[in-house]
Amino acid sequence: MSEFQTFKKDLTKSRIVETDEHQAIEALQDGEVLVRIERFAFTANNVTYGAAGDTIGYWKFFPASADVDEEWGCLPVWGFAEIRISKVDELLVGERIYGYFPPADFLVLSPKKISLPRFVDGAAHRAELPAVYNNYIRMSAEENCDSDTDNLRSLLNPLHITSFCLCDSLEDSAYEGASQIVVLSASSKTAIGLAQGLADLVDSPLVVGITSSKNYDFVASLGCYENTICYDELSSLDTSKPTVMVDMAGNRAVLGELHEALGEKLLSCVSVGMTHWETLDDKDPLAAKINRARSHFFFAPAHIQKRIGDWGQDGFNQRTSAFMAARIAQSADWMSVTSITGFDAFSDTYKEIVVGKMNPNEGLIICP
Are residues 58 and 180 located together in one domain of the fold? no
Q: Which domain holds residue 99?
A: 2-145+337-367
User: Which of 239-248, 289-298, 318-327 shows the lowest mean pLDDT across its residues?
Assistant: 289-298
Are residues 69 and 174 located together in one domain of the fold? no
User: Which of 15-29, 52-66, 164-178 shows the lowest mean pLDDT across its residues?
Assistant: 52-66
Domain's final residue, options 301, 327, 352: 301
Distance in angstroms (rounded) separating the CA atoms of residues 166 and 156? 15
Task: Give me the pLDDT at residue 144, please.
Answer: 65
Question: In the 3-class helix/strand/coil scheme, how is the chain assigned residue by residue?
Answer: CEEEEEECCCCCCEEEEECCHHHHHHCCCCCCEEEEEEEEEECHHHHHHHHCHHHHCHHHCCCCCCCCCCCEECCCEEEEEEEEEECCCCCCCCCEEEEEECCECEEEECEECCCCCEEEECCHHHCCCCHHHHEEEEHHHCCCCCHHHHHHHHHHHHHHHHHHHHHHHHHHCHHHHCCEEEEECCCCHHHHHHHHHHHHCCCCCEEEEEECHHHHHHHHHHCCCCEEEEHHHHHHCCCCCCEEEEECCCCHHHHHHHHHHHHHHEEEEEECCCCCHHHCCCCCHHHHHCCHHHEEECCHHHHHHHHHHHHHHHHHHHHHHHHHHHHHHHHCCCCEEEEEECHHHHHHHHHHHHCCCCCCCEEEEEEC
Are residues 132 and 202 located together in one domain of the fold? no
Whether residue 235 is contained in a domain is answered as yes
Domain's final residue, options 275, 301, 327: 301
- Residue 267 CA: distances (Å) to CA of 205, 239, 295: 13, 12, 9
Is the predicted pLDDT of residue 278 greater than 50, yes or no? no
Mean residue pLDDT of the chain comes to 91
Note the Cα 293 to chain centre separation in Å.
26
Task: Give me the pLDDT at residue 273, please.
Answer: 62
Are residues 285 and 353 located together in one domain of the fold? no
Q: How many percent of the chain have pLDDT more than 70?
A: 95
Whether residue 12 is contained in a domain is answered as yes
On the 0-12 / 13-18 / 19+ scale of CB atoms within 10 A, 366 is buried
What CATH number is given to the structural domain containing 234? 3.40.50.720
Please provide the size of the chain in residues. 368
**Is there a contact between 58 and 158 (Cβ–Cβ < 8 Å)?**
no
Phi, psi of 273 (to 5 degrees): -125, 175
Note the Cα 339 to chain centre separation in Å.
18
Are residues 182 and 257 located together in one domain of the fold? yes
Task: Give me the pLDDT at residue 277, please.
Answer: 41
Is the predicted pLDDT of residue 280 greater than 50, yes or no? no
Are residues 294 and 169 located together in one domain of the fold? yes
Task: Give me the pLDDT at residue 120, please.
Answer: 96
Are residues 163 and 112 located together in one domain of the fold? no
Task: Give me the pLDDT at residue 89, please.
Answer: 96
Task: Give me the pLDDT at residue 11, please.
Answer: 93
Q: Measured on CA atoms in the order 314, 320, 326, 332, is the torsion positive or negative?
A: negative
Whether residue 128 is contained in a domain is answered as yes
Are residues 7 and 136 located together in one domain of the fold? yes
pTM score, whole prediction: 0.84
Contacts of 302 (CB under 8 A, 6+ apart): 130
Model confidence at 251, pLDDT cuts 50, 70, 90, reads confident
Are residues 94 and 120 located together in one domain of the fold? yes
Rg of the chain over CA atoms, in angstroms?
A: 21
Whether residue 186 is contained in a domain is answered as yes
Task: Give me the pLDDT at residue 284, please.
Answer: 60
Whether residue 324 is contained in a domain is answered as no
Domain's final residue, options 257, 281, 301: 301
Q: Which residues of 126-150 are buried (b: 16+ CB within 10 A; e: fewer)?
A: beebbeebbbbbbbeeeeeeeeeeb
What CATH number is given to the structural domain containing 76? 3.90.180
Whether residue 317 is contained in a domain is answered as no
Number of domains in the chain: 2
Model confidence at 145, pLDDT cuts 50, 70, 90, reads low
Are residues 109 and 13 located together in one domain of the fold? yes
Whether residue 69 is contained in a domain is answered as yes
Q: For 68-95, how does the pLDDT look when each residue is reduced to its tens digit (9 = 90+)?
A: 999 999 999 999 999 999 999 999 999 9
Whether residue 151 is contained in a domain is answered as no
**Is there a contact between 184 and 275 (Cβ–Cβ < 8 Å)?**
no
Are residues 84 and 163 located together in one domain of the fold? no
Q: For 123-141, how does the pLDDT look when each residue is reduced to its tens digit (9 = 90+)?
A: 999 999 988 899 999 998 7
Are residues 203 and 295 located together in one domain of the fold? yes
Query: Residue 336 half-sphere exposure, CB side, CA atoms within 13 Å?
Result: 5
